Structure 1
């Protein structure tokens, strides 16, 4: 089965990736990079360039992440975390060929992290969409494996071509095509009206646009990321100081030579019980009385006399 023959040609993919869809990366890159040529306005500061990237990419990324997770708060949190990491590594992100794609990949990784299942706030399900058709589509999407879901959103939702989808999902092109084909077949089995890729693309746009998903303002994200970095830096310093203090205390109090441990106490066997003194005889009582009456000092105490 040739999966690539079932996919739209490159010109069709470019047509689907139009303004107003689930992506705004190309438009963002052009606006964020404007002003750097000669004769144009002054170059943007790092904060201004970051704010421009966030303002144009964040709303679309929140909608995309909602399709991956089905959770509104988790989608917003994953996108904000991705932009905080982008601001932390801004010298690297600013010179990237596709800054929006860099942030999108990080946001998808954060949203699909398996550790979210252990968080108490994400154990209970969120209210589903009000429209029954949107509810059925979201339920079908969440029933796909995460890798299939991510490939489907990138190709049919965002509008990336197959090599770009494979590169962003860190898979080969045949593997990405196979995932896309199986994801479409699974959705078509549950929702036959979505067998047409164009109809699937339109329904994904409607589902993402129907929810009221908003992102925080760019300065809030930047300040939050900086505070988070300061917190973890201080925590790392405190942990290092604690380890150094514990090591120093151990070196000061540890013995410098080997001391043999004391043997445990054991009961001694075979020793006869001590004898008990019996009553004195008349002769012994008389001798005791004589000794008590005699002077404490004198020759009779040094030279015994014959009785």
Structure 2
């Protein structure tokens, strides 16, 4: 039988379901922590993050990037195909913000709220190891696209001071500490799942078996599906305390997630007393297909976060 390593014995046995970040490598003035395990649990792949932090004399504000992919696909390392990696990373890092890119469990690994549990765990991890990472734990925002935009909105709205909030917070990874965020950028995310359960999906590519992303996220076929849809919908969590500032960016010709989804979330946020900016991208489909303004859209998200998180 394999024996525990010395490091594991130092931590106690079994070791905690997360690891502190290893020493970074420095490249072009950026401290890079790649493939850091922020949460793990038996039966699932470890959840990983990459942290890219410009070298600075003081801790920097941080942006947690949440990828899309219909909750079924996607990877922390890659934005949507319309947004070059260098463009997104260069914009955020060039503004003096740290960029934390995270993976989370896909819906066929575990249905909702596992995805939000992982996002919340990543936020708690970033705060727990803020000194190691070189970030300011009091200045953390989230930025997501599509499924990631949905999760970013939930991260900004769900707080653990209600029974529903406790259920959605989870205890993955670092189980204690705050998962609150100071600002949210949501690109074309779903805000109200119930009306979309019967929404027709675009055809999948030939030979690809792509399930309905909404029913896969919710799991099962029970009579309580509408209740699960409500629980997973950001509009239904915008009725508590005043939310953080939101920037909603959405193509007006989005065939997968209608523009009306962002309009509905904006209305709910305003009703709750929140600050919200809606940027329509005229004529653009999902992932901003058809738009020629991608660099401006990216820089707009960065500027919004820099303004609300503060940069020195």
Tell me which interval the TM-score lies in, with the shorter structure as reference length: under 0.3
Query: Scaled by the length of structure 1, what TM-score is found?
Result: 0.25
Query: Scaled by the length of structure 2, what TM-score is found?
Result: 0.25
Instruction: State the structure with more CA Rg.
Output: 1
Which of the pair has the greater relative contact order for Cα pairs under 8 Å at 6+ separation?
1
Greater fraction helix: 1
Greater fraction strand: 2
